[in-house]
Each structure stands twice: as C-alpha cells, then as structure tokens.
Amino acid sequence: MIGFDYGTSNCAVGVMENNTPKLLSLGDHGRFISSTLYAPSRDVIVNWLQKRLSLNEQKNFQQQRQWQLQKGQNSLRELTLDGYPTELSFGQQALNNYLQEPDEGYYIKSPKSFLGASGLLPQQMELFEDIVAAMMSNVKSLTEAALGRSVSQTVIGRPINFQGLRGEESNQQAIKLLTNAAKRVGFKDVEFQFEPVAAGFEYEASLTEETKVLVVDIGGGTTDCSMLLMGPKQAVLADRTRDLLSHSGERVGGNDFDIAFALKGIMPSFGLNSLLKTGKPMPSNSFWQAMAINNINHQTEFYSSANGRFLEQLIRDAEQPDLLTRLLTVQQQKLSYRVVNAAEQTKIALTEQTEQQIDLSDIDNGLTVDLDRNGFAMACKRELNAIAVLMKDAISQANCQPDVVFVTGGTAKSPVLNQFLQQQFQDTPIVIGDHFGSVTAGLTRWAKTIYS
C-alpha cells in the first residue's frame, strides 16, 4: 500500500516503515517528480500506455481506443522514419525536451488542473485519462523498482474542489478520471483523501493533547483549508468524520501565483500596458490568454490562427511594435510554458534573494527582465486575498478559532506569503510543515489506517 500525492506541481509516493511514513526516491527524479509529460507527438501517448498495461487490460484498451491507437501507430512510423525518438518523458526531462524545441512535440504541465474543466468533449476526456494513466504508470513503475515488489493499494490526495466551474459535478468528473487511470495501470484498491486533511494527519502525529488545527494547504492548483480536531485520541480512529469541523477550497495555488507574476512582471516587456498609435491602451486579452497555461480554452484561443493574425495587426497599430513582436514570437513558437516557468523559477529564487534578473534572450536577442520580491507581492494581491477569504470561511464554518495554523505546500516557502499569514493570525501560532512532503506523509498514514 502507498500514499500517492498526484499533485498539480509534483508527484510523490510514501510507504510506512517502522510505523513512520517514508517518501520514496523515484529513480533519478528523487522524492519529487514534476507533474509534467512530453511526447514527440500527442497521438503516441495512447500507444506508449498500451504497451505498459497488463495483458487483460491491453485487450480492453485496444477495443476502447482502436481509432486512437491506429492514429498513434501512423505517427510512430513517421517519427521513426524521420529519426525522432518515440518515447515519452516525465518530470524535469519532459521540461528539458520542451525547452529544446517548444514548437515541436506535445508538452503538458499539471494535467490535474484540467480534470474538472467544463465542456470537455469525449475525446478530450479520453486524452486526459490517458495522460494521467501514463504519468501514474511511470510513477508506479518507479515505486515498484524502489521497493522491489508490486503495489496494488493506494490512497490518492484530492483537493476540496478541483479546478472547474460546475462545483460537485466538476469534482466527480475529476475523481472518475483519476480512478479510471489508477485502476487501468494496476491499482486494485483506490481511495481518496482530502489533501489538507492528509497534511493534518501528519502534523497530528506530533501532538500530545487535543488541538483545533486550521490546515492551510497551498498547492500548485488549489488552496484548501480544513479545520480539524486533532490529538492522540483522534489519531487512532478509522472514522474521522466528527473531527473534520469545516472545509473550504478554491482554484488558487502556486500556478496562479506564477501566472500572475508572469503577467504583471514579464508581459509589460511584451507590450502589456503599452499604447496604440491612437493613444488608446493596448488590448490585454491576448496577454492573459498567453499566460493562462491552466486554462484549455484560453490557450486554444491564444494559439489559434485567427489570434496570430490579430497580433500581426496589433503590431502594425502599436506605438512600440517591437514589444508586440515578442508576444507574436510566443504565439508562433508556443512559448507560454517557457515564460511562466521563468516566473516560477524567479518566485523560487526570491525566497532567498530580494531581486532577480530573467534572461529571455531566446525570445528576443538581449532581452532581460528585472523582478523583485515587492513586485511579486504586488502581482499576487488577488491570490493572497483569495487565500485570506478561504481561511476565514473555514473558521466561520467551524464556529471556533484555531489553536494553531498549520501551513503546507510549496508556495508556503515564500517570505511574501509568510509575512501575509503573520498579518492574518497575529495572536495564533503558525507552524510551517514540510512544504512538499506533508500531504504525502499523511496519505501514507491514512493508507495504513484503512488497508491494514
């Protein structure tokens, strides 16, 4: 049995050793593998996956994906004839392959962000299920190699609310996709646990008395808050329903911080906030769409031929056409992920430094952008305020004040966020957990509880 954090930003796996959760090293990726996938062609994902399924599952899969498998086989022949690799890559290697040739192949980051999206066509649902299954198959293989045995039972983390506009319907759609993918690649027993609750379970192991804990999990795609009654007496219970005093969650997470930072910190160098020759402000819609890597519809619109023609017209109408030419380069060479990744890496660097220079000379010769911690705070005001609302909502629902606030998630490392949290809870202790490992550890503890 394993705890499996299929995260928006990273994936991690835990097992129990000597009654303590241990995060496994997943081959060359280490304990955390970025939630990314790169394929030389989108059509070959389904073929890669089929080869890694059990014989029984291969037969079912072939019946369900007959047309896609044939299309993928044709793409594989073309790739082989042209001398291109045909394998999928994951984690950092996937990002490296994308950055080498952004306009070639198929790259996706954080597919979990799309699972609750509304308006998905059946073929899109199948594609996302195959992408998730491929990533899970890779993680499962790495896990079994590390353990030297097969695994068939898992608890997978889930946010309070997946990213979607249809509330519980979006949640059920995402859970169905995750369950189908997990069972397809060989997990016989699949259960889910709320990610903030799992993080709380790990913190609970350190408590010696009953405590009201507000868990704030700022993940890559969502922020989730849970008010939990915790302590030694509660920790041994298999049914924790009475201890879960409240939940709140929304689509605001690390990705949104990165996108906001890219938009407000980097996009002015691409023409945002500039003027047209008429003196009117530059239309901003294409800048939003360019950076919205977690929104299928926005990205589809940005990369459309019609938008390419629109940007060419904007260049002719712009007071500073050189800036808009950079945005057209992003559109033509599919560089949205490249720009947002630059913002993300700067966000990480600003944890230790107060300012950072980004080199974007691959987009325009000599282009650099200077960013600093204050600019990050200004860019992310909306996201910070949304997190404050979620925390207040969880406290209001529980009808009690927390004894302690336990914070986890990669974005929690930011000094900007730490300062913000201190302002919100001036008289309540704030405990910062393992930024990336708390959820995985808690899922692992819960796996032992329900499967033992």
Mean pLDDT (the chain, rounded)? 92
- 412-452 pLDDT, tens digit each: 788 899 899 999 999 999 988 777 788 999 999 999 999 98
**Beta strand pairing call for 2-6 and 153-158:** parallel
Across the range 177-189, mean pLDDT stands at: 96
Q: pLDDT above 70 covers what percent of the chain?
A: 99
Strand order in the sheet with 89-90: 89-90, 36-39, 106-109
Cα–Cα distance, 133 to 139 (Å, whole number): 10
DSSP state of 249: E
DSSP string of 277-346, one letter each residue: TTSPBPP-HHHHHHH-TT-HHHHHHHTSHHHHHHHHHHHHHBSSHHHHHHHHHHHHHT-HHHHHHHHHHH
Which has the minimum average pLDDT: 61-65, 141-145, 177-181, 237-241?
A: 237-241
Cα–Cα dist 34/109, whole Å: 8
DSSP 337-387: HHHHHHHHHHHHHTTT-SEEEEE-TTTSTT-EEEEEHHHHHHHTHHHHHHH
Read off the tokens for 388: 């404050």
Which residue, 218, 205, 231, is CA-closest to 432?
A: 218
Residues 196-241: tens digit of each pLDDT: 889 888 889 889 999 999 999 888 888 989 999 999 998 888 888 8
pLDDT band at 165 (very low <50, low <70, confident <90, very high): low
Q: Domains plus CATH for the chain?
A: 208-252+384-434 (3.30.420.40), 255-379 (no CATH)
pLDDT of residue 420: 92
Task: Out of 94-98, 144-148, 177-181, pick the least confident.
Answer: 94-98
Residue 190, C-beta contacts closer than 8 angstroms, at least 6 positions apart: 154, 156, 178, 179, 182, 183
In the block, tokens 């690390």 appear at 254
Condensed to tens digits (0 to 9), the pLDDT of residues 324-353 reads: 999 999 999 999 999 999 999 999 999 999
What pLDDT score was predicted for residue 45? 96
pLDDT per position as a tens digit, 388-397: 999 999 999 9
Q: How far apart (Å, rounded) are the C-alpha atoms in residues 388 and 378?
A: 16
Residue 384, token pair as written in the block: 């910070």
pTM of the model: 0.84
